[in-house]
Every structure is written in C-alpha cells, then in structure tokens.
Amino acid sequence: MSHYPDRLKITWDKMMSLGRLNPNDKFSMSYLAANISQEVNGVSWLHGIVSQKMFAPLWNGYFPEENHVGYVTNGVHYQTWTSKTWQKLYETTFGDGFMSDMSNPKYWEKINNVDDADIWDIRKLQRTRLINYVKNRVRENWIRSYESPSNMVTVLEKLDEKVLTIGFARRFATYKRGDLLFRNPERLAAILNNPKMPVQILFAGKAHPNDGAGQDLIKRIVEFSKRPEFLGKILFIEDYDIGLAKKLVQGVDIWMNTPTRPLEASGTSGMKAVMNGALHFSVLDGWWVEGYREGAGWALPQERVYENQDFQNELDTQTIYNMLENEIVPMFYDCSDDGIPHRWVKCIKKSIAEIVPMFTTKRMIDDYKDRFYGKLYKRSTELAENDYAKVFEIVNWKEKAARAWNFIEVLKIDFHTTEFENPQDAYGEIALNLNRLSPNDIGIEAIAVSKKQDGSIVIDEKMNFKLKECNGKIAVFRIEGAPHKTGIYNYAIRAYAKNDLLPYKQDSKLIMWI
C-alpha cells in the first residue's frame, strides 16, 4: 500500500486515518471502505440494521437509524444451483418470459397448478441421487483413510433414500452452532432411530485453517457420528466443495441453520435449498427473517430469551427437538393411500411460490441497480461534467466549512412551548453568529426522542428550523408547531454543515449539539 499516498497526493498519515476512528486505533479495512464509498450496504435487511449500529461511530452525532447504510439481500443463481429436473419442471410450467423475469412471483405461483405426485416424484428422485452420491463418497473416503470396515458397512446399510433427510453444511464457525443438536444425545438418538419415522442428518463443511474452535466443532460431530446409536444416522461428509454442496441443497428434505442471533449476515445455502423444493428450518436471522412464511418452513424466534448464551442454546435445542418430534417428522410421514404426504407437498409449493422469487440473483441485481448503481452512475456523471467542476466546488466548500465551524457562536435560544392552548402555536428560535459561514451552509433541526423499555433511545420526530432573518453575520432560525404525537419528549437541537451537493448530510461530519 506504500505507493497509494503519492498517487492520491495525500500523506501516509492521512491515508491511515481513513481506516481509523482514533489515531492509535488498529487500521480497519471496513472503516476505510466506508470512508471512501458514497454508498454502504448490508447483505440482508437485518444485516443492514446491524451494520448501521456497527458503523455508527464513523458518523458521530447521528443516531444509527439515521445513517445512510442501506441493504440488498443476497440472492442465488438459478441455473447454477437448481437441479436440471426442477429446472425442466419450472420452465415447462411457468412458460415464456420466466427466464428473463424470474424474480416475478406471478411465474412461481404457477407451481400450485402442478400435481402433488409430480412434486413428490422429483423430491424422491433428488433424495435418491443424494444418498447414492453420499454412499459412493463415503466408500471412497473411508477406504482411503483406513476407517473401520464394519462401521463403513453399517453406515452404507443404514443410509436410506426413503428416510427424512436433514442437511447442515456450511463454513464451520462457532457462531453457527453446528453442535447444537447434540446437547441431549439420548433424546436426539430417540428421534433419529424412531422405527416408524426415522431421520438421518448429513453434515458437511470446513473451518478456516486458523479457526481452532471451528475445527473442534467438526471433530466433535465426527465423534458423535461414530457412536453406535448414531452410526448411519448422522454422517459428516469430508472434503466439502461446490459439487457436494450442489448435491446436498438439491437432495435434502430440510435445510437446517442454527446461528447465534444476530450474527448471520445473510446466508445463501438455505436459498439454494428452497429453490430445489427443500424446506428451511432456521433461527430468524439473516435472510430467513425476510424469507420465512408460516406453512412454508420453520423458524426459531428472532428474539433472544436469555442473555446467557448457554441457557439460550439449551432453549433452542429443546425447541428444535419438540418441533421435530411433534410437527416436522410426523408431517413428512403422514402419507395418504397414494403414498404422497400431501401436507408436506403443500408446504413445498408454498415455499417455492412465496419464498424463492424473493431470493434470485435477478431480484438482487435489480435491487442494487435501483438502490445504488443507478444513483451512483447519475452522480458520477454529474461530477465529471465541466472537467469535474462540482468536485472542486465540494472540496472548496468542505475546506471553508471546516475552518469556520468552530467559530460559530450561539447567541440566544428562545423556546415557547407551554403557554399556548393549541400546541401547534408553539415555537422556538435560535440566534447564531455564523462568522465566516452563510445561512445556506448550516442546517438546524430539533430531535425529539423517547426511551424504550430496554433503555435504548429512539427518534420520534425531527423538525427543521427555517431561516427567519439574517443581519450581517447574525442569523435567526425559527421552528413552529409541535410533534405530531402527544406525550413527554426529551429533545435537543442539532446543527450540521449543509450543502446540496453532498450525497447525504453526514458527508461533511461537521456537527454541533446545542
């Protein structure tokens, strides 16, 4: 990076400051990116909210929800991740125009016209393909690594293409809680080995080479999978890669995800699974907050019940067990005389019709274009006009405002809020000595806030002051009326450097609470 300051005509310290909050802080690539980008976005609605809070220190003086951090929820590529069998059904059923407009729910709703038998035949075919693939992979890997022949035979005999199959495959980081199901091994064994309604779970994934805790998670799952009660019912498949990932998302009946709230930024494996007729079962975190529909998958609540993570883990584990025993597994095996679990297929149809179109790459790219790319293209074009005249205008204004900001003087604050029968007659005025600035260089607003039960502060209303009069350097700003909702508010007055050429008001970072 040493050549950048010369090319940008700034000092090394100036460049380093773009990645720090304070001079002695560790350099942050995230802060650098936010400081040199006009737009910032999270990769799901919830991640956008979390990101607003994470990056709030960069825009000191503003509440997190005021920041310009937006979001575009991730999507997945239909042609890459959807099995050829499903693609053929979709394209035949949905008709002309689907491939160029696949985020349009009207196409996906046509899945409801497909016969339940056709849906179930595809699900059985995909599960059979997966189990056969896994058996071959297990045979090759275990022979190569000299695993116990008797264990291998048992696993190959017990893996069954007719059994409810749950998939859990991803990067193994501790927050994803890959071992959550093993907190009560006896109860889990009873669920998996139910003679009338058996279940099998396929695990796969990798941990970062430097993530010892993630590697320990994998080791623990492998150890459980080799216990007699779990042999052939729980399997960790080695050498996770794209080929294995495709087989899993295309073949499992349920895709499970159990992250610690709210640490899942988005997650995309579940999107790939529902595109293939699997049903998603996850904590309401990441993309599933937006995707979950009752009757089209299952969810653990978004809100934490316990601050103590171990207590929360125990609650989530027991909730998963209860849902599997009382709802999910019985529904899968509740077949009519025709051998089809119609309630299960109904959930698949609802998932495909109402969830899948929201999480295609087409929808994601459209969102980026509408929310960011179009805006940025327009602005960059405008800034380039007349040999970047507006750029020089912005730079000169920022330098002027920065030099003058600390010389602003508050001369008088006069609020009249209680002596009027009509609250809308209330008013307030503030007189400032602007010194070297003009009235157009400053914005003033009253912020009315209230405190929630959890102690957090929320903005109820923002009201802008208008210039009443200006005599030389002395400007008087006035606000009239009252907040639209009745009640008792805390309020404060905030002044900020304002220029219509800025993309958003935080861009100047000059702010003063009065």
Question: Do residues 252 and 319 share a domain?
Answer: yes
Name residues whose C-beta falls within 8 Å of residue 32's C-beta, 6 or more positions apart in sequence: 18, 19
Asked if residue 388 is part of any domain, the answer here is no
- CA distances 97 to 92, 157, 344, 404, Å, are 11, 46, 29, 59
Q: Of 142 and 437, which is predicted with more confidence?
A: 437
Q: Using 50, 70 and 90 to split pLDDT, how confident is the model at 379?
A: very high
Question: Do residues 412 and 351 share a domain?
Answer: no
Question: Do residues 130 and 248 share a domain?
Answer: yes
> By residue range, what is the domain housing residue 21?
4-73
Q: Using 50, 70 and 90 to split pLDDT, how confident is the model at 238?
A: confident
Q: For the chain, what percent of residues have pLDDT higher than 70?
A: 98
Question: Do residues 354 and 286 share a domain?
Answer: yes
Question: Do residues 477 and 353 share a domain?
Answer: no
Question: Do residues 354 and 442 share a domain?
Answer: no
Span 308-322, mean pLDDT? 86
Other residues' Cβ atoms within 10 Å of the Cβ of residue 193: 14
Q: How do residues 404-440 score in pLDDT, each as one tens digit?
A: 999 999 999 998 766 667 777 788 899 999 988 999 9
Residue 443 confidence (pLDDT) above 90: yes
Domain boundary residue among 73, 96, 131? 73
Asked if residue 382 is part of any domain, the answer here is no
What's the pTM value of the predicted model, to 2 decimals?
0.89
Asked if residue 418 is part of any domain, the answer here is yes
Q: How do residues 464-489 score in pLDDT, each as one tens digit?
A: 999 999 999 999 999 988 777 777 77
Domain boundary residue among 301, 330, 359? 359
Name residues whose C-beta falls within 8 Å of residue 387's C-beta, 6 or more positions apart in sequence: none
Asked if residue 176 is part of any domain, the answer here is yes
When divided into structural domains, the chain yields a total of: 3
Asked if residue 392 is part of any domain, the answer here is no
Domain boundary residue among 305, 339, 359? 359
Question: Do residues 346 and 449 share a domain?
Answer: no
H or E segment and range at residue 492: strand 490-497
Question: Do residues 441 and 490 share a domain?
Answer: yes
Torsions phi, psi for 218 (to 5 deg): -60, -45
